[in-house]
Amino acid sequence: MLVLVLWIQLSCCGSVKPLLMESPSSVGARSPEDELIFEKSAKVKQWVKNRMKELEDQNERLRLQNLRCTTQLQMLRSFTEKSKQLKAEMAMSRSITGTLPVMRDTENRTSDDSGLTSDDTSERRLLGTSAIESTPRQQRKPGRLRKESSEMDKGSSTSDSSPWEEEAKPIPVPRKMTGNNNFMERDSLNSYADDYEFDVEDEIFDEIASPADKEGNHKYSGYVNLSDFVAIRDDKNIYSDIVKPSSERPALPEHKPKAWESRLLHLAAECLSVSDCVAECDVPCTSASPNHSANNLGRETDSPSSRRSCGSKLSVRSSPRALSLSSASPITPEGLYAIRDVSLEKRSDDGYYTPPDASRHSGDIRTSLIPSFDTVEKSGYWNQMSDSRLKSLKRRYVVLKNNQLSFFRTAKHISKGEDPLMKIAVADIISVAKITQQGSTYAFQLVTQSAKYQFMTDSERTTHEWVTTLNAVIKGSTIRDLATRCAPVEASISGWMTKVRCGHSKRVYASLVRHKLMFFKNSEDTVPCGFTQLKGARIMDKQKMSSDEYSGSSDEQNADKSPQPQKKDTYSLSIEMANEDPLYIVLRSSEEKEKWLYFLRAASGDATLCGSPFAILVQRMLAEGGAPDSPLWKDLLLTSCDDTPKETLMDFEGADKKKALEIAKATYLFVSVLMRPIAAQYHIDLAQNILSTAMQHEFLRNEVYAQLIKLTSGSMPFSIQGWKLLAMAIPLFVPTQYSLLWLLKKHIARWCMKTGDESNMAEYCQCALERVLRVGGREAGPSRLETTSVLTRDPTSTKFPHSISVRLPNGQYQVVEFDGSTEIGQCLSSLCLKLGIRPALLSGYALYIDDPTTKGLQLLKGKQKLCDCLYEWEVRQRDVLRGRISADCSATLSLRMRHYWRHLICNETAMERSFLVWRMAEELVCGRIPTSPQLAEQLAALYAQLSYGDAPAQMTEEQFAFITKQFYPSKMLDVACLKSLRSSLHSSWSELSGMGEADAIRVILQVLRKWPLFGCHLQAAGMRTSNERKVFLALADTAVHVIDHRHFDVIRSFPYNRLASFGGFHNDFMLTAERMLLPESHPEETSRERVTFSMEKHEVEQLTLHLAEYIRCQKLVWKVSK
């Protein structure tokens, strides 16, 4: 392109050269025209000179830039060769000296990948990454700079146990740098894995300083100097304009413990150490990420000496099995799983420029499929089919143009400019389909809003062309109309469904717009991928599709004869059009089916009213809109409640009708009999029976709502009781028929406009209905606590009418409020907010309920409704007591720590530390923490100082009994001398005089965190493969450890990324783990190992749930805790 420009300019210069070479003597004899030409030639000459100078300058700049690029390419090649040489030297050093694990410096790194999928990546990278553990970080990574936040300056770090692993990614294009020495933040600069396999960490530059402009010249500001972005490393120096020497972190303030505190820490270090017995494990725990360093579990208070002693337990072995074990301690997360940090991949605001053709368009790509505004044109002769014998009078010349069909007598009449005999707009055409009538095979039918037309062409091919063209024009007109609308289309109803036609199913998002059912691929799309015209269609409720008639051999072959859940194809509708294949739509629930059935029938023009008299009345009200002053609200079917019901309000079949009539009579009895305080239990039981029966039998729910709407219409003397029963029914379920749900909304809204107690209850019911439509219904009936709260109190006085107390880890209680739709997760979140602790995901706390059958604790899942949990507890309690539950018998909720994340201990709040101390007290008493008599006495003295303050002159019997019962191991207490124990305990307590509560909590946690398995959930079990050896299954945040029941030595470790499956197996708990086979292994030896443990059935269920929650939350915690 540059050569072409130069050639054109030189040509122009050559064309004016003769004019410029004229002699000066001829200047005086020039005419005015010559003078004008001479001036123009001079201007052209000057322009050419200036242009040539600019091109020469530009060529010089390009030459200099090319030279810079060539230089940088050579530098990069040299850098690559030096890197490979360094890699080879490290490999040689590793083969000679072996691998020695060292402590990594503190880095605030987190990850969001749990590394649960096992592959050979970790094994492949083990050999390349283990040698770096012996190389100092500053020697390996001269280009690394870390931003030192305020949290680092305080001395606390959460990065010691943050495992992460970055996949190899190409070097991204660097940002353009400013020319005024401004600092620019650099996100990432990664290297190729092949060339830099010795370091899998990504290079991070926090600040980049742009170099100053050379000699103040701004002409080169638009060019990028690659030398500003490359750090070249040689044997001695580092050359880079952007890399700054990292400032060293200030030294942490040294804590000088007292003499008794030093003795206590030394005693804890000796007592709480774990014997390294994993060397004999058959499942090696290879390190998938050498950067995951968390040997010091008590980072807040552990001394450097304790870190060194902890790391010294790792021994070096020469065998392959021992080599894999040397880099992965079973009690540290270094070798447990690989975490990959993908936060940089997900960053969307990285500041890099994205070319327009490489960016992802935000719009819908299907907009390119919209037909253009150039409409389709077609013409030909049609014969209108009728009984008349004058065929020639019915032959018309049809022209399709501008989305309109025009009928002329012949083609000559068009040229004469005559008006058409008839016009049909394409927008008015409902359907076009081939038909067979009067022996003709070339006929087709055209259906409009007002009439049906039947035509015939000269051949079958012509008929097919016309039918195809007209259908395409109709579809294109509809799509074009939607694509060109400024405002969004107002749909009567929208939602996801499964569309089935001719045996092919597809998940689509459907919207009903006037008389057309539009289908979209996504809910955000504005252009449909298809539609169906509903005018004149037949909408039917299909209880069983053709696929359901297939042989149920799979169900018959199941050994489990338990009832199967209802299938989705039960909730299906059919749309049948004349001369077209039927279209089936499959919905998720009966409520959606009833709702779609009504709207589709309304759009198709089906005005038939069917059902019971009450159902017909509801359809009439629905057609009129249900105005509050409509006379239909005063119909006898809604107001007459004088006698006990003789008939049901809804339609039922034989056996179901009898059950529905019983529910109708029970509902009438509940409202008609006044509830007295001394006989409130009768109404409580009756309400529970009515609603529990409706929960078990779905066909009764519509009848319950129909009766309640009728009984709360103002004709009953005690209608407030009907409103309370309605308030209890709404959180449980909603009407399955859309028309009845619509009537319920209108009925409640109509009463909200009035005054009185009924109006207040209507407002409460309206809020409850909106909430249940948003979060969903319940799975169990109303609990006794829920029913008593609504019937004996005024539920409208507060937003949450129910309340229950929760036992905290420190023995105190906190009251939480809830309603019929409150979930466990919502209740837990509000509880954490009140107590001042972190969210449940980070703090690890969960709600438990006491189990009447096993006398243990049962976990409550986050998505469960709290009222459902209380109802299930009452059912189990009733089974245990074999009868009625007493009034003073209620469920007990407990807040307990379920997960413990060791890398987040610096973010613990004061309340969390207090709860953790009290939880460890329970573990000490149960003997689940390795202690000695001396350490147990010291810890008991600390707990005494925490509970009572400074020691009195003489310890009372009550104090001694409380301290030994709550804080001293029960097994040691049984064999201890109480007199000497009391004396030594009092003397140790006296040494702590003046210690505050915060200091006591700090020292207790500092001591107990010396144990590597601190915070793990311990479950007692018997090891089947070792003759029922008693062990503990310790669930940590990275692995499952099998420890000895007596000495607390680690026997086995199963990292989460090695677990293939876990759960119950023949009333036992089984772990299936992947393992690496040695080269000399037998060819038929499997790579999976199964280990079973014996325990109770409920313990198997709880342990399986606990382990699944640990693995599920692991990835979320690393992502959230960044």
| DSSP states of 601-650 | HHHHT-----S-HHHHHHHHHHHHT--TT-GGGG-HHHH--SS--SS-SS
Cα 344 from Cα 167, distance rounded (Å): 11
Distance from C-alpha of 1071 to C-alpha of 1093, rounded to nearest angstrom: 8
| Rounded Cα–Cα distance for residues 442 and 459 (Å) | 6
Tell me the three-class secondary structure of 762-820, residue by residue.
HHHHHHHHHHHHHHCCCCCCCCHHHHHHHHHCCHHHCCCCEEEEEECCCCCEEEEEECC
Contacts of 618 (CB under 8 A, 6+ apart): 739, 740, 742, 743
Task: Identify the pLDDT of residue 722.
Answer: 92
| Cβ(931)–Cβ(943) below 8 Å | no
**How far apart (Å, rounded) are the C-alpha atoms in residues 301 and 1003?**
9
Tell me the CB-side half-sphere exposure of residue 760, using CA atoms within 13 A: 10
Contact 82, 271 (CB under 8 A): no
- Block means of pLDDT (10 residues each) for the chain, length 1122 residues? 46 44 46 85 91 91 90 87 76 44 38 37 40 38 38 38 39 40 36 36 36 42 42 39 46 63 77 55 38 38 38 35 35 36 36 38 36 65 66 73 84 80 82 71 78 82 84 75 62 88 88 85 81 80 49 35 43 81 86 82 73 86 83 86 84 86 92 87 92 92 93 87 94 90 92 90 94 91 91 88 92 92 93 92 92 87 92 88 73 92 90 93 91 90 91 89 92 89 91 90 92 91 86 91 90 90 90 84 82 90 90 83 66
Q: Which amino acid is at 328?
A: A
Q: How far apart (Å, rounded) are the C-alpha atoms in residues 584 and 282?
A: 57
For residue 635, what pLDDT is reported? 86
Q: Which pLDDT tens digit goes with each residue over 768-781?
A: 999 999 998 999 99
> Residue 438: its pLDDT value, please?
58
Taking CB atoms within 8 Å and a gap of at least 24, the contacts of 944-951 are: 944/985, 944/989, 945/989, 945/992, 945/995, 945/1000, 946/917, 946/997, 946/1000, 946/1001, 946/1004, 950/992, 950/993, 950/994, 951/986, 951/989, 951/990, 951/992, 951/993
pLDDT of amino acid 768: 93
Angle between helix 719-729 and 680-696 (nearest 10):
40
CA distance to 408, 664, 706, 710, per residue, from 414 (Å): 7, 72, 64, 67
Q: What's the gap between Cα 78 and its chain centre? A: 46
* 3-state SS assignment for residue 269: helix
pLDDT, position 440: 64
pLDDT at position 746 is 93
Pairing of strands 583-586, 572-576: antiparallel
Strands 802-807 and 893-897: parallel
Strand intervals (E) in 4-156 = none
Nearest to 816 by CA among 778, 874, 870: 870
Q: Contact at 8 Å (CB) between 535 and 515?
A: yes
